[in-house]
A and B are shown apart, each in its own frame.
Chain A
Amino acid sequence: MLSLPALVGRQSLAFARYLGGLAEMFSKATYWTFVAPFRGKGVRGSATMRQMVVVGFQAVPIVSLICAFVGIIIALQGAYELRKFGALNYVVDMVAITVTRELAPLLTAIIVIGRSGSAFAAEIGTMKVGEEVDALETMGLNPIRFLVVPKYLAMLVMMPCLTIVADTAGVLGGAFFAITNLDSSLSGYLLATVDSLLLRDIVSGLIKSVVFAVIITKIGCYEGFSVRGGAEGVGRSTTSAVVKSIFSVIAADMIFTAIFYFTNGS
């Protein structure tokens, strides 16, 4: 039985090792993505395109649907309170700002964690167990370049795209509520949305989405490479990838929201 200080020490060391591993993977993946192509070691284009389709295009329906529902929910909850002050027209502002600054990037990230972050860990983990990663190394192929870079690039491109889709779906959800309950027109609602939004509202959401893309790819892939044992190890790593990604994304969201709040004064 370990004493409390020993337990704390051991956990702290394990956490520091984990962060070190993530940082190492981040630096290697960044090198192979952005530096190596200029030294004649190109990115696997077809694999990257395939990942973009899986990570981005195939996630469009679920991201749109969920964000549209959330747009309606925010409009309903906002209207419930704003009605008391006779300020129902502020529902438009509330939906637009909440969705673009916060909920669209966050919900998109959580959906992508469930769809792709877990898949990254499971795919690489299964390859590790089946000696496929070792086979790549013995063929002189860098596993980071071969397996991580296409996912990394796809996520960096598709997460902001999905976030824009989520922004649009959320606003349209709010519009649906306004049209059916507040006698508003679609064009009137959209014009009011454009008026209420600043460019920085959208940009701050997109910056967050890029950070989330880095977090989700790194944790998913790192957990995959960390798999020990057989199928049970793959299951453990996949679960771990989802839990750690959700925690890290929300923590990063809080930090970035605070940064935007204090730097923009809004």
Chain B
Amino acid sequence: MEVDPRGRQINLQVAPVLLPMAATTENHNSILIRNLSSTLGGREVLREINLEVRRGETLVILGGSGSGKSTLLRHIVGLEEPTAGEVLIFGKNINRISEDEFNEIRKKIGMAFQGSALLNSMSVGENVALPLREHTNLEDSTIQIMTRIKLEQVGLSGFESFAPSQLSGGMKKRAGIARALAMDPEILLFDEPSAGLDPIIAAGIDELILKLKHAFHMTVVVVTHELTSAFLIADRIVVLDKGSILAEGTPDEIRHCTNPRVRQFLERQPDHEEQDAEKYLNSLTEEA
């Protein structure tokens, strides 16, 4: 590890030498989140989150169900409005810039959704080609070649004409990743990439993320609750609980973290909330 002129640690092995935007954004982190708070339906989902994702690194956001990790990811792509704080992508506050400006930034971000979010009215090939058709002036034959390349990268060559409904869960996820890769993004976001998949398919997705990371030097943010995946793919891990960051560090640092809540999560211990029997009965009669 080396130190950049601002005193930040950088990993030269994943320096973004291949990125088209490297020249214009080299002075910025890919993602910077400052004091981000978010409320959904009157409930505070995120509380004063401060997070930095360095260019070229793979950050895993680890946390249980309802910890706010998916909401945090939605804030990064501007799908949610924060109640306080700010999200900066390539140094620009995404909540302060115009829609056109933000859409330019979004072209450099690929997101693979938990349920793949493929457009069911289109074939797999049309889904992957969609961002290229809408955002570039490339000829149709070029778009078709690029679509085939993207599908080949995720191991789905030959599935261009299939409807999303004809694919298995793992194949849908991979097709979603191919679509996220279509515009050669600088930042790739994954929401629960291996959730609901059998261990073999899940391992295949992990391997794919590692392959993409090493081949394209992208900044990758993965939201997951799968411990094996997290420790395999992460350069750095952030543990989220009840909307706050509990711990942050390299996989080794997280493995040896002494925070009781983190230990409970890593050792898969259930919650044992002791409840006074009388209080419990009273609460039932009050509601009735």
Contact = CB atoms under 8 A, between A and B. Distances in A.
B167 to A, nearest CB: 14
Interface centre among A126, A127, A130, A135 (most CB of B within 10 A): A135
Contacts of B120: 126-127, 130, 132
| Contact residues of A: prevailing secondary structure | helix
A46 to B, nearest CB: 11
B104 interface: yes
Category for how many chain A residues contact B: 10 to 19
Interface in B178-231: 179
Category for how many chain B residues contact A: 20 to 34
Interface in A50-102: none
B106 interface: yes
B15 interface: no
A201 interface: no
Contacts of B114: 131
A139 B107 CA distance: 6
| Contact residues of B: prevailing secondary structure | mixed
B107 A138 contact: no
Interface stretch (B55-63, B127-135, B272-280): B127-135
B115 A130 contact: yes
B241 to A, nearest CB: 24
B79 A139 contact: no
B131 A134 contact: no
B119 A140 contact: no
B103 interface: yes
- 5 closest A-B pairs by CB: A140-B103, A135-B117, A140-B106, A131-B117, A138-B111
29 contacts: A130-B120, A131-B113, A131-B115, A131-B117, A132-B119, A132-B120, A134-B113, A134-B117, A135-B111, A135-B113, A135-B117, A135-B119, A137-B77, A137-B79, A137-B106, A138-B77, A138-B79, A138-B109, A138-B111, A139-B106, A139-B131, A139-B179, A140-B102, A140-B103, A140-B104, A140-B131, A141-B130, A141-B134, A142-B99
